[in-house]
């Protein structure tokens, strides 16, 4: 049983493994995956993201694209609080970027609740194209905060 769990974890964290190329992409649902706002997102997921075709997953409020999967999405994650991580606005959605596990990059729709995270394998897909393609569905999640710059937080006279 431990072997099966390890293989499932490997498929989620290392999408380059060809043994993971099955009909369903094995994923773990986020803690708040049953939040109705996640359903609003999941029913609107696009058929393609970053030129990769959508795949079926085995967990609630998740999405995957590519074979092997180059883009993984989970709705219902715990939203990040204020952060100094890089944050960019893409089509009205703020995304924080975690580059610490390159070539796997984590993007989070910042300030949205429930939280939405996207993992991109940069060897298989463009992170920029991914967040552009997913910004429209991320907007269905309620926005509670937004990215700010240093200039926004200081009273700088021009």
- The pLDDT tens digits for 22-76 are 579 999 999 999 999 999 999 999 999 999 999 999 999 999 999 999 999 999 9
Confidence (pLDDT) at 148: 83
Burial class (CB within 10 angstroms; exposed 0-12, middle 13-18, buried 19+) of 146: middle
**Residue range 89-148, pLDDT digits in tens:** 999 999 999 999 999 999 999 999 999 999 999 999 999 999 999 999 999 999 999 998
Q: What is the mean pLDDT of the chain?
A: 87
Phi first, then psi, for residue 6 (nearest 5°) are -65, -40
Name which of 98, 110, 112 is nearest 140 in CA terms. 112
> Higher model confidence: residue 152 or residue 43?
43
Model confidence, pTM: 0.81
Confidence (pLDDT) at 27: 98
Q: Rounded to whole angstroms, how far apart are CA atoms 74 and 34?
A: 11
């Amino acid at each position: 049983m431990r072997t099966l769990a390890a293989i499932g974890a490997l498929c989620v964290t290392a999408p380059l493994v060809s043994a993971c190329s099955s009909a369903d992409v094995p994923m773990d649902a986020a803690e708040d995956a049953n939040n109705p706002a996640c359903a609003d997102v999941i029913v609107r997921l696009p058929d393609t993201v970053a030129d990769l075709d959508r795949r079926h997953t085995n967990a609630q409020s998740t999405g995957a694209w590519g074979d092997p999967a180059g883009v993984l999405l989970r709705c219902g994650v715990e939203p990040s609080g204020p952060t100094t991580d890089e944050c960019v606005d893409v089509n009205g959605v703020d995304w924080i970027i975690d580059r610490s596990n390159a070539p796997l990059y984590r993007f989070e729709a910042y300030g949205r609740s429930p939280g939405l995270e996207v993992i991109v394998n940069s060897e298989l897909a463009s992170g920029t194209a991914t967040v552009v393609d997913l910004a429209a569905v991320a907007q269905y999640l309620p926005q509670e905060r937004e990215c700010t710059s240093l200039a926004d937080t200081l009273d700088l006279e021009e």
